[in-house]
């Protein structure tokens, strides 16, 4: 088989793999958009209540648990909301990290739209939520951070979500526009990334099939415990293409489930960018990124032991 044939077959296979998920992705992102627009203010209110003394005896656990469970819902805005609240010192560092670890971003929609992904949705979410709760509780119990209870909810200005859409539109006309336009933009964007990554992986596999000796150079990244480390550093890049890439690579058999877990635990979406831009304490930002990486790598390695 010549290079042109490999390119053509890889291209056609990528189109076939991508086309089938279009209606599922649009439906999922439409539902996500409704949740973001109409319930983001309620989420913020409950976060403040859980932190401001409503549950004082169990603040560390409930804060991390609440954050991790809600972050597992596939929405691009929750990590942005969490970063904004943390920069105002309304939520704790532990709760922020729990949210980052459990954030699903685009991974869950891709898994839901792919029949091969159904079997790992529950294990993946369970591991991410559990890792978020444990890490968040550990940080808040042993390294408690100061927080402010004086910031008013109405004073919090939310950053924009992915593709520059408003997480909470200010008027009815803008809401209708966002509900119709953004799911379409989001679907097309994810489809583009899915196609590119699938095409790229197809080319790599075809290359290895034609050149078996070159697989030896790739084998270093197939190490059971090294691969989750590499995946975590890749996953922490704040871009929606990263979570799509990790998910597609797992579905294609390019990486292990443990590496997928490690990379997706590190993937906090746009929340990291907001933290870097808005958190005045740069050392604190670096500490959070380090903790996120360490927790994600450890979670991946532990998963590898049982997988």
The pLDDT tens digits of the residues spanning 43-56 come to: 556 555 555 444 44
Question: Do residues 226 and 258 lie in contact, with contact meaning Cβ atoms separated by under 8 Å?
Answer: no
The confidence score (pLDDT) of residue 154 equals: 47
**Helix %, strand %, coil % for the chain, to 5?**
75, 0, 25
User: What pLDDT shows up at residue 178?
Assistant: 66
Confidence tier at 177 by pLDDT (50, 70, 90) = low
Compute the distance between CA of residue 79 and CA of residue 84 in angstroms, rounded to an integer. 9
Q: How many CB atoms lie within 10 A of CB 5?
A: 10
Q: Whole-number mean pLDDT of the chain?
A: 76
Q: Which residue has the tokens 């809401």?
A: 175
Beta-carbon count within 10 A of 119 CB: 10
Please report the pLDDT score of residue 152 as a whole number: 44
User: What pLDDT does 260 receive?
Assistant: 92
Judge whether residue 13 has pLDDT over 70: yes
**pLDDT score recorded for residue 136:** 92
């Amino acid at each position: 088989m010549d290079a042109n044939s490999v390119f053509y077959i890889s291209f056609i296979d990528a189109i076939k793999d991508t086309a089938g998920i279009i209606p599922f992705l649009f439906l999922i992102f439409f539902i996500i958009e409704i949740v973001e627009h109409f319930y983001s203010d309620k989420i913020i209110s409950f976060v403040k209540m859980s932190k401001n003394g409503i549950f004082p005896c169990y603040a560390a656990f409930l804060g991390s648990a609440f954050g991790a469970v809600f972050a597992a819902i596939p929405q691009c805005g929750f990590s942005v909301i969490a970063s904004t609240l943390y920069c105002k010192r309304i939520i704790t560092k532990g709760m922020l990290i729990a949210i980052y670890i459990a954030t699903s971003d685009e991974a869950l929609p891709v898994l839901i739209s792919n029949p091969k992904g159904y079997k790992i949705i529950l294990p993946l979410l369970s591991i991410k939520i559990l890792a978020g709760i444990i890490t968040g509780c550990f940080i808040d119990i042993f390294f408690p951070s100061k927080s402010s209870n004086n910031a008013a909810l109405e004073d919090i200005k939310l950053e924009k979500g992915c593709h520059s859409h408003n997480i909470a539109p200010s008027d009815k006309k803008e809401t209708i526009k966002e509900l119709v336009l953004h799911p379409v933009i989001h679907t097309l964007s994810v489809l583009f990334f899915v196609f590119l990554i699938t095409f790229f992986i197809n080319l790599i596999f075809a290359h290895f099939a034609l050149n078996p000796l070159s697989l030896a150079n790739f084998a270093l990244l197939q190490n059971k415990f090294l691969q989750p480390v590499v995946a975590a550093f890749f996953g922490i890049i704040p871009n929606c293409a990263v979570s799509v890439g990790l998910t597609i690579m797992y579905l294609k058999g390019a990486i292990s489930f443990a590496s997928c877990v490690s990379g997706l635990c590190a993937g906090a979406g746009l929340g990291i960018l907001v933290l870097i831009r808005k958190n005045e304490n740069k050392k604190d930002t670096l500490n959070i990124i380090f903790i996120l990486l360490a927790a994600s790598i450890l979670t991946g390695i532990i998963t590898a032991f049982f997988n």
